[in-house]
């Protein structure tokens, strides 16, 4: 079946540290890949996406590259801020008209 595996949190970093949150997927064909962010008590917001192999999604200093050979879509940011503290979800959408499949989420805490 289709699934997404994320590194378990929580992840605690100091401000300005480098961030990596690992995400790997299992899917038939070539799905579209997404990263969402959720702030406390809120819904999910799309952070970035990639729809084909070798695409790089980027937004607000965050980046992720669609790696077909390793079935991965790791999220990175060069210098995190306290305001980046949130839960991050990796997700995939298979080709066709199907719902997103989400990973379990990774909680990030950034301390000043």
Partner 1 sequence: DGGITQSPKYLFRKEGQNVTLSCEQNLNHDAMYWYRQDPGQGLRLIYYSQIVNDFQKGDIAEGYSVSREKKESFPLTVTSAQKNPTAFYLCASSITSEGYEQYFGPGTRLTVT
* Choices 15-23, 62-70, 71-79, 89-97; region in contact with partner 1 by CB under 8 A: 89-97
* DSSP category for residue 84: G
What's the rounded Cα separation, in Å, for the pair 8 and 70?
19
* Distance in Å, CB of 15 to partner 1, minimum: 26
Q: Which pair of structure tokens corresponds to residue 96?
A: 């066709």
Task: Determine if 96 is a binding residue for partner 1 (CB under 8 A).
Answer: yes
Considering only residues 69, 70, 97, 112, which one is a binding residue for partner 1 as defined by CB under 8 A?
97
What's the rounded Cα separation, in Å, for the pair 90 and 96?
19
Q: Which pair of structure tokens corresponds to residue 103?
A: 């990973």
For residue 40, the SS3 value is: coil
Task: Determine if 68 is a binding residue for partner 1 (CB under 8 A).
Answer: no
Task: Determine if 40 is a binding residue for partner 1 (CB under 8 A).
Answer: no
Residues lying near partner 1 in the complex (CB under 8 A):
32, 34, 36, 41-46, 49, 51, 89, 93, 95-97, 99-100, 102-105
């Amino acid at each position: 079946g289709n699934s997404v595996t994320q590194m378990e949190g929580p992840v605690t970093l100091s401000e300005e540290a480098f961030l990596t949150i690992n995400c790997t997927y299992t899917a038939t064909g070539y799905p579209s890949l997404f990263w969402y962010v959720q702030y406390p008590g809120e819904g999910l917001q799309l952070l970035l996406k990639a729809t084909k192999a070798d695409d790089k999604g980027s937004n607000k200093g965050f980046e992720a590259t669609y790696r077909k050979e390793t079935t991965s879509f790791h999220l990175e940011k060069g210098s995190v801020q306290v305001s980046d503290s949130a839960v991050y979800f990796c997700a995939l959408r298979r080709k066709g008209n199907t719902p997103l499949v989400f990973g379990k989420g990774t909680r990030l805490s950034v301390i000043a």
